[in-house]
Amino acid sequence: MMNKIILMMSLYTASNWCKAQVSIAPTGILLDQQGQGTIYIGNTGNQIQEVRIKFLFGYPGQDSLGEIQMVYGDTLREKSHGLGNSIKAYPSAFTLQPQSQQMVRLILKERNFQEEGLYFSRIKISSQAAVAEAGSIDTATVGTKVAFRFEQFLPVFFQVGQPKPVLQVAPQSLQSDYRHGALRFDYQCNSNSPYLGLLRYRLVSGLEPSSPATVSGSLPNQDKNTAWKEMEIALYFKGNRRCLLDWTDTLGSGKHCLELEFHQGRSDFPALGVGKVPDYRGKVHFELP
């Protein structure tokens, strides 16, 4: 009976306990020109945590519906775009006392890249509550306990030279589920770098419809313009991506236009620079009954 009670209590409290016991900062790393970087791992809980750090090649792709899906095991692209086995973490295994923090140094030991580009890998950080030593276990209260192991992933990049990401977006593939704010588009990164940037968009009502997704300049200012909104975006290689936009639920019937812009650069990687001019600009005209 004791075993069942402990198991039920463990499952009952899992929703609270399963909140990340280990915090990581920052959430993405751009190594400096010496191939070095630093992350900080903290234990925000009240239990001792065992932490392990490994590296693996992976990147966000998408499934047949355009939803983001992580891709692992792509050995061909790992050879041309990955950091290889020379990326190391020091320390790579340690324990964290409650409410404590550990600094981890990242070092890319070999940097023999032949072409300019933004090379990358993924950091896998595993953590779980430390197992009590055998002599410290109270045999009178031994029962079934559920152990949880958490795995968190974050990207790590190393830039060679000053590559300029080249993004192509196929205009004819821009489609929207206008009532639900879903956008799909084909893309291709024609450089040795992923495209880390921002998707900016706004809605304008009361315009005459034209051919879908025509590329042109900014729309004229009108009273019904919504404010520009933006979302971070990471595009690797090529594919078809579906993005959920922050859409108004009061969009009424009539003629509307969705204006899109892709800008290079993100606040979490300021050293990569920010593009002042959009790399792509397009419009999607539509009408709701």
Q: Are residues 128 and 32 in the same domain?
A: yes
Among 133, 160, 187, where does a domain finish? 160
Q: Residue 153's domain spans which residues?
A: 2-160
Q: Are residues 89 and 187 in the same domain?
A: no
Q: Is 7 helix (H, G, I), strand (E, B) or coil?
A: helix
Q: What is the largest CA-CA distance in the chain?
A: 78
Q: Which burial class, exposed, middle or buried, applies to 201 when counting CB atoms under 10 A from its CB (0-12, 13-18, 19+)?
A: buried
Q: Are residues 252 and 138 in the same domain?
A: no
Q: Are residues 112 and 226 in the same domain?
A: no
Q: Are residues 16 and 87 in the same domain?
A: yes
Beta strand extents in 64-181 (DSSP E only): 68-72, 87-90, 93-96, 101-108, 117-129, 149-160, 167-177
Q: Are residues 118 and 248 in the same domain?
A: no
Domains identified in the chain, total number: 2
Q: What confidence tens digit (pLDDT) does each residue in 90-144 have?
A: 999 999 999 999 999 999 998 888 899 999 999 999 999 987 654 555 555 555 5
Rounded Cα distance between 7 and 145, Å, is: 6
Q: Are residues 190 and 55 in the same domain?
A: no
Is residue 11 very low, low, confident or very high in pLDDT (cuts 50, 70, 90)?
very low
Q: Are residues 143 and 175 in the same domain?
A: no
Q: What confidence tens digit (pLDDT) does each residue in 178-225 have?
A: 566 788 899 999 888 999 999 999 888 765 544 333 333 333 334 345
Average pLDDT, the chain: 80
Q: Are residues 214 and 261 in the same domain?
A: yes
Q: Are residues 149 and 52 in the same domain?
A: yes
Among 160, 182, 213, where does a domain finish? 160
pTM of the model: 0.80
